[in-house]
Amino acid sequence: MQSTLFRRVTAALTLLLVSGVSVASDWTERSNVNLRPGVTDISQDVFGLHVAILWVVSVIGLAVFGLIMYSAVAHRRSKRPQAATFHEHVGVEIAWTVIPFIILIFMAVPATRVLIAMDDSAESELTVKVTGYRWNWSYEYLTYQDDNDVGVFFFSNLKTPAEQYHTPVLKNGLFPYGTAADRFGVEPEEKDHNYMLAVDKPLILPAGVKVRFLVTADDVIHSFFMPDFAIKKDAIPGFVNEAWTVVPEDATGIYYGQCAELCGKNHAFMPIEVHVVAKEEFDTWIAEEKEKAASGPDLTPFANLEAAMALGKEKYNAACVLCHGAEGQGGIGLPFAGTELMNDSARIQENIDVLIKGRNAMPSFAAQLTPRDIAAVITYQRNAFGNETGDLIQPADVAK
């Protein structure tokens, strides 16, 4: 136990050293001390305001601390046995009320200007509806230029595999993620550079186009936070909020964001990944996606159990792992390892129904997973974690 803990600590320390140099540059070129300037005009205005106010408070702060230090040294008793007796001075009292007030007005003016600019979401060319769920995001492209029914919709889940964050140091401790025993003492996997940030299917946006986000939520309040665009908008169930951005044409690339309003257990596990691509590239992509959406679900049968298992594992790790655990050990959701439902081939239909319709705290996955995904996940559940039913479920079984 001791030595494992020690090894873990040293490993993590090494990782820290590495992360300090190489990883910091991954989330765009940025400082990890100061606010990030971001890439849009608005975010740079915001950064400008931040620098200005930081100067203002630093100067005021240093002036005050300087006076205190000076007084503490120069007015100590050994130097001044007798204290002065003044305890009022109308002049200075007025001065230190009025001067800060004027400084504040000087700060309020540019802040108001930026705020008004941020408020103007008119003339957008692309509208994306962003919905927060416990615990992932979905994106729906509503309108793009003249097309007012794009209808492209998908979910976006954390890609970091559980093996990378599930690293308990206590065997039967205070609730290590899922259960500790199965991962305790296992060498932690090296963490990806974009650990806790990358997703399975990112949001794709065109550069140089004004994009309007309609932000809402399915269950509790989430918050759509994209620091590089200076956007943070709460996603509130039952209500829509607006935000917008234009990423300049020369700023294509990958941007990350996170959920910024406590939404329950896996609040830290629902990042946002945005790929900003050139407009032409976006046009091709959206056309393809649209076609896919129009042609209905892909019902191509799996060639064999292995093919289904591979897709199933991927989908399981994206959609199910947070509640049911990487080893099917359960958590918020029920366990799968060795359970009756998973091992009784007569109950396959029930298994399918639960995924499609939901049951109690388990939500319906009909919108999030395609029939093919669902077939794969169920196949995986019934043939992993020590379950060995050999059941191969085909997309057609699910789609009916």
Partner 1 sequence: MTAVAAHHDHHDDHHHAPHGLKRWLFSTNHKDIGTLYLWFSFAMFMVGGFMALVIRAELMYPGMQVVDPEFFNQMTTVHGLIMVFGAVMPATVGLANWMIPLMIGAPDMALPRMNNWSFWILPFAFTILIGAVLMSAFGDGNPSAPNFGWTFYAPLSTKYGPASTDLFILSVHMMGISSIMGAINVIVTVLNMRAPGMTMMKMPLFVWTWLITAFLLVAVMPVLAGAVTMMLTDRHFGTSFFDAAGGGDPVLFQHIFWFFGHPEVYIMILPSFGIVSAIIPTFARKHLFGYASMVYATASIALLSFVVWAHHMFTVGMPLAGTLFFMYMTMLISVPTGVKVFNWVATMWRGSLTFELPMKWALAFVVLFTCGGLSGLMLALTPVDFQYHDTYFVVAHFHYVLVSGAIFSIFAAAYYWLPKWSGVMPNTFLGELHFWNSLLSVNLLFFPMHFVGLAGMPRRYADYALQFADYNWWISVGAFWFGISQLLFVAVCVLCAMKKGKKAEAAPWEGAEGLEWTVPSPAPFHTFDTPPVIK
Partner 2 sequence: MSELNDLEQRNNRVLRKLVIGSVLMFGFAFAMVPLYDVLCDITGLNGKTSDTAASGEVQMDEDRLVTVQFVTTSSGGMVWDFTPQVRSVKVHPGEITQVNFQVKNPADHTIIGQAIPSVSPGLAAPHLLKTQCFCFDNQTLLAGGEADMPMIFYLDPALPKHINTITLSYAMFDVTERVTGNKDKLAAR
- Does the footprint of partner 1 cover residue 299 (CB under 8 A)? no
Using alpha carbons, select from 55, 37, 56 the residue that is nearest to residue 47.
37
Q: Quick one: which of 139, 141, 144, 225 contacts partner 1 (CB under 8 A)?
A: 225
When the beta carbons of 1 and 67 are compared against partner 1, the nearer one is 67
Instruction: State in angstroms the smallest separation of the CB of 347 from partner 2.
Output: 18
CB 35 within 8 A of CB 52: no
Q: Quick one: which of 1, 67, 186, 367 contacts partner 1 (CB under 8 A)?
A: 67
When the beta carbons of 95 and 287 are compared against partner 1, the nearer one is 95
When the beta carbons of 75 and 292 are compared against partner 1, the nearer one is 75
Q: How far is CA 396 from CA 280, 342, 375, 381, in A?
A: 36, 20, 8, 18
Binding part of the chain for Cu ion, among 50-58, 109-117, 182-190, 216-224 by CB under 5 A, reads 216-224
- Which of Cu ion, partner 1, partner 2, none sits in contact with 202, Cβ below 5 to 8 A by type? none
Q: Which positions from 92 through 151 interact with partner 1, judged by CB under 8 A?
A: 92-93, 96-97, 100-101, 104, 107-108, 111-112, 114-116, 118-119
Q: Please state, in angstroms and rounded to a whole number, the distance separating the CA atoms of residues 352 and 343.
A: 14
Q: Please state, in angstroms and rounded to a whole number, the distance separating the CA atoms of residues 131 and 217.
A: 5
Task: Report the SS3 class of residue 132.
Answer: strand
- Which of Cu ion, partner 1, partner 2, none sits in contact with 285, Cβ below 5 to 8 A by type? none
- Does the footprint of partner 1 cover residue 2 (CB under 8 A)? no
- Burial label for 92, CB within 10 Å (0-12, 13-18, 19+), is exposed
When the beta carbons of 329 and 394 are compared against partner 1, the nearer one is 329
Binding-site residue total for Cu ion (CB under 5 A)?
4
Instruction: State in angstroms the smallest separation of the CB of 359 from partner 2.
Output: 10
- Residue 262 backbone class (left: φ over 0; alpha: ψ -120 to 50; beta: rest): beta
Q: Enumerate the β-bridge partners of residue 156.
A: 137
Q: Quick one: which of 191, 315, 324, 382 contacts partner 1 (CB under 8 A)?
A: 191
Q: Which positions from 255 through 284 interact with partner 1, judged by CB under 8 A?
A: 256, 258-269, 271
Q: Which residues are CB-contacts of 400 (< 8 A; sequence separation ≥ 6)? A: none
Q: Please state, in angstroms and rounded to a whole number, the distance separating the CA atoms of residues 199 and 387.
A: 28
Q: Quick one: which of 3, 76, 340, 360 contacts partner 1 (CB under 8 A)?
A: 76
When the beta carbons of 191 and 222 are compared against partner 2, the nearer one is 222
- Does the footprint of Cu ion cover residue 232 (CB under 5 A)? no
Q: Name the site residues for partner 2 (rule: CB under 8 A).
A: 120-124, 127, 129, 131, 142-143, 148-149, 214, 216, 218-219, 237-242, 264, 332, 357-358, 360-361, 363-364, 366
CB 126 within 8 A of CB 210: yes
Q: Which residues are CB-contacts of 286 (< 8 A; sequence separation ≥ 6)? A: 141, 144, 150, 152, 204
User: What distance separates the 2 farthest-apart alpha carbons in the chain?
Assistant: 95
- Residues lying near Cu ion in the complex (CB under 5 A) are found at 222, 259, 263, 267
